Amino acid sequence: MKMRWGRLIVLALGGAWLATAVWQTHKALPAGMHVASPVCTVPADTVGFSADVTAADAYGRAVQRQGIFAEALRLIRAARRFIVLDYELIDSPADTAPARLLAGPLTEALLEQRRAQPQLEVLLLTDPVNERYGATRSPQLALLRAAGVNVVLTDLDALRDPNFLYSSLWRLTLRWWDAPAGPLAVQARALNFKRNHRKVLIADDGRGGLAALVGSANPQDQQGAWSNAALRLGGGAVRTLLASELAIARFSGWHGESQQFAAPADGAAACDAAVPAAPTAASARVQVLTEGAIRREFLQQVDAAVNGDAVDVAMFKLADRGVAEALLKAARRGVHVRLILDPSEDATTLSPSGLPNQPLASELVSRSSGAVHVRWYRTHGERFHTALALVYGSQRLWLTVGSANFTRRSLDDYNLEANVAVGLTRDAPLAQQALTYFDTLWGNRAAPGTEYTADFAVFADPSQADYWLYRLLEGAGLAAF
């Protein structure tokens, strides 16, 4: 009888764990996730490309070109009615030497603008990791709260669980004793492997319209030297992004008045979800994509590419199997595929050095018989953190820029992510700017002795052990990438 009761208890616990795992990986997404805005035709000059690029010269000295946060400060200083920010990380650690000051200048710009415009409403969404899931208080966020900024820590429990093997156990047990104190409690939450990974700034432009900056850069001093990319945009698509941000703030406990952040109707007539106007040299087709909608649209663009077209990807992390197979199929159709990847040398306990980029890149090169071309960004302690993809032919170009890595966590509706997609003619200024950016890194177009990227062989990893480890970690949700 004791044995029977023991088995029943084990079966009941196993059933509860399984039911929790199934539910938490398939439950309905909260409001504001998996968004695809209408495609909006806007003047080409309302969309702008910014990049932060770090390399080293022949003497090992840093060579930097930075533009993203200069653009962010311009948007803040132009705002008159409201500013909405959503950044995964915003801090200035006191115990490390910063690579570049970002958090302080951004915070000061917000405070100065509130002093200059007392009616200005500011809403900041961020990931709870900034305050170690409640274990500490961020001085940066405390300063903003004291100045009247609405600071909202994203409710990650409302998101689906990528690490279902662990998270189901955590939800059934550890969560109930999850007092926010000590490193063990912090690590217990961190192992859920989900984040608000967005990097978004939205503001009124001071002229009755909206402007936004969407990219891959965090205002964190430790990441000040990282290479990133971003797009500035205006028009009707920003309204969809703003609605998404307010919805996330709502399910995370914000109780403010949405009317304070009411978006004007600028560009609404130019947005058509069914048949948007074709782009011209003077116009662009803009769409906001979040989470899984990013994956769907990118795969559609790659699948539509034909012999003679090209796909260029510059990415911090590449691991998604659907993306990998789409790139292989495209290369076999005669599409020219080029990848610039970070060498993934940032080892962690559950993301060993080189994973996922090195084994996956080696797979793509091998299976395509060299038709997929790969170069590695030469990092010097910093990271190549860009998330950029281009699909183009002789006349048209489509690009997407934002926060989303091409991984399961980013593209399968687990992390919060935000990208912008733009359709252009090949001769449009933005198209030429994006192509020049990629070609400059690919071809090392720099002063003698300065190299942006290295040959594929430098970090190639044909190890089957590493390959199957990456597949296991990615497929089971055990990866920190």
**CATH code of the domain containing 309:** 3.30.870.10
Give yes or no: residues 296 and 251 share one domain.
no
Q: 49-92 pLDDT, tens per residue?
A: 999 999 998 888 889 999 999 999 999 999 999 999 999 999 87
Among 155-159, 263-267, 297-301, 341-345, whose mean pLDDT is lowest?
263-267
* Residue 348 belongs to some domain of the structure: yes
Write down the pTM of the prediction.
0.95
Query: Structurally, how many domains does the chain consist of?
Result: 2
pLDDT score at 258: 83
Assess whether 241 and 304 both reside in one domain.
no
pLDDT digits over 163-185, tens only? Answer: 999 999 999 987 776 665 566 77
pLDDT reported for residue 350: 57
Q: Are 416 and 197 in contact (CB under 8 A)?
A: yes
- The residue out of 223, 258, 293 marking a domain boundary is 258
Same domain, 291 and 148: no
Question: What is the pLDDT averaged over residues 103-112?
Answer: 95
Residue 33 lies inside a defined structural domain of this protein: no
In terms of Cα–Cα distance, which of 432, 451, 470, 434 is closest to 375?
A: 451
Q: Which of 11-20, 270-279, 414-423 has the highest mean pLDDT?
A: 414-423
- Domain annotation covers residue 435: yes
Q: pLDDT grade, residue 422 (50/70/90)?
A: very high
Q: CB burial class (10 A; 0-12, 13-18, 19+) of residue 191?
A: middle
Residue 201: closest CA among 136, 113, 295, 133: 113
- Is the distance from CB of 67 to CB of 213 less than 8 angstroms? no
Q: Do 238 and 289 fall within a single domain?
A: no
- Does residue 215 lie in a domain region? yes
Task: Look at residues 224, 258, 292 and tell me which one is the last residue of a structural domain.
Answer: 258
pLDDT bracket for residue 97 (50, 70, 90) = low
Look at residues 105, 73, 74, 110 and name the one whose alpha carbon lies nearest to residue 92: 105
Between 44-48, 280-284, 454-458, the lowest mean confidence (pLDDT) is in 280-284
Residue 182 lies in a domain: yes
Shared-domain flag, residues 316 and 412: yes
pLDDT higher than threshold 70 for residue 2: no
Displacement of CA 199 from its chain's centroid (Å): 7
Which of the listed residues 258, 289, 312 is the one where a domain comes to its end? 258
Residues 221 and 189 in one domain: yes
Asked if residue 358 belongs to a domain, the reply is yes
Task: Please indicate, yes or no, whether residues 346 and 237 belong to a single structural domain of this protein.
Answer: no
pLDDT tens sequence across 434-473? 999 999 999 999 988 899 999 999 999 999 999 999 999 9
Domain encompassing residue 56: 41-258
Give the percent of the chain with pLDDT over 90: 77
What does each C-alpha distance from 140 to 145, 181, 429, 444 come to in angstroms? Answer: 9, 20, 38, 38
* Same domain membership, residue 220 and residue 86: yes
What is the pLDDT, as a whole number, of residue 59? 83
With 50 as the cut, is the pLDDT of residue 269 above it? no
260: CB partners within 8 A, 6+ apart: 82, 121
Asked whether residue 11 is assigned to any structural domain, the reply reads: no
For residue 151, is it within any domain?
A: yes
| 206 and 64 part of one domain | yes
Q: How far apart are the first and last CA of the chain?
A: 47
Mark whether 301 and 177 lie in a shared domain. no
pLDDT, tens digit, 9 for 90 and up, residues 199-210: 999 999 999 999
User: Which two structure tokens, joined as six digits, stand for 100?
Assistant: 């570049």
Give the CA count within 13 Å in the CB-facing half-sphere of 230. 27
Q: Tell me the per-residue pLDDT of 348-364, one tens digit each, with 9 for 90 and over.
A: 655 678 999 999 999 99
User: Could you tell me which of 245, 204, 216 has the C-alpha nearest to residue 49?
Assistant: 216
Question: Is 243 in the same domain as 320?
Answer: no
Band of residue 1 on the pLDDT scale cut at 50, 70, 90: low
- Residues 133, 183: one domain? yes
